[in-house]
Chain A
Amino acid sequence: MSQPIASIYSFYRNGFKNMTVGRTLWKIIFIKLIVMFAVLKLFFFPNYLKTNFQNDQQRADHVLEQLSRMTTHNQ
């Protein structure tokens, strides 16, 4: 059981160790993911409905309110 896991571990370890251009690419991927999730998502892209309403009923009511409010102004 442990033999296959050890082989898989060694496969990935050696693969990462022997990378050339891959090292630069992984750095870019990590920086990109950090910028996306730790900066952009956290500070600039909150989920509006999740942040401002407590449950799905409130969210549904808000969206319905938006849909009707637009009509009222439209008529």
Chain B
Amino acid sequence: MGTTQELENALNALGSKLGDPAGKVSDLKRLSGGASQETWAFDFGPSGGAVEDLILRRAPGGVSAARSQAAIGLENEAALIDRAVAAGVPAPRVVHSCKPEDGLGQAFIMNRIAGETIARKILRDDQYATAREKLAAQCGSAAALIHSIDIADVPDLPKSMGEDQLAQYEEIYRGFDTPRPVFELAIQWLKASVPDAVEPSLVHGDFRLGNLIVDETGLVAVLDWELAHLGDRREDLAWICINSWRFGNSQNRVGGFGDLGEFLDAYAAAGGVEVTPAEIDWWETLGSFKWGVMCMIMYEAFRSGADPSVERAAIGRRVSETEIDLINLLERVRDA
């Protein structure tokens, strides 16, 4: 199962499950992007009639090969998106969660929302100038809605709080046996400065530009829920702030587009709790450390021979980006 024709046949056979027994697939094409999942766009409807714009999200070749041990699987992801939509989070509507007899492997189908996901366009194109002004508040509200979802009401998800993640990424870093003094200082400071614990809530796990659809009016959908977990709400609020996800616009702490105060105010106003910039400092430091270790993991794929591409080699020279980000953060904390 993998050719475009085979996929099209399987999708055509879904018929009424996609809301129209006479519906046919047209214009099926693979979209780029998506680190571990295949994403396909297609139109569905009666020939000559009105079509619905849909997205197929599918494990590569239909077989699950999660990008990390933490990924929750497509069935859980679909269930979670349903819950998020019910809670008022802007997200796609899941049309069908695939069963084995559908012949598509692990997959679900959702409606296709028009807009842009490429961060550099959202941050630079004139078309999104008005959207950029609203985005910090909209993201704060969306995060509050995500975190308000009753965790008794979501699929069985892994639990990972801040100290769990610090321990997990420290272990990976030590496993590489590549001493990096900046990482040592960050680990030491993070351990000595753990913020007060909070009750676990549903955490998106990859809440940042790239996983958000934005149109001229601002945020229209939160995508890519596969790293969702039970955790610390402040993780989502700080992950969008780490400098790597500001895509060159360092001066705007939230995603390269927004002001932290405005973002946190909107979060609190939409039902989230009060979160202080100092708490974001800790989580942003953890986030930059995690991203640095992730770059080391990607480089390790080259070093071990698993992926000999020049791209995997090059990413090893991006670990230093997270080192300077950590220094900037720690210097600000020290001098505060």
Do the two chains bind? Answer: no
Measuring CB to CB, which residues of chain A are less than 8 angstroms from any residue of chain B? none
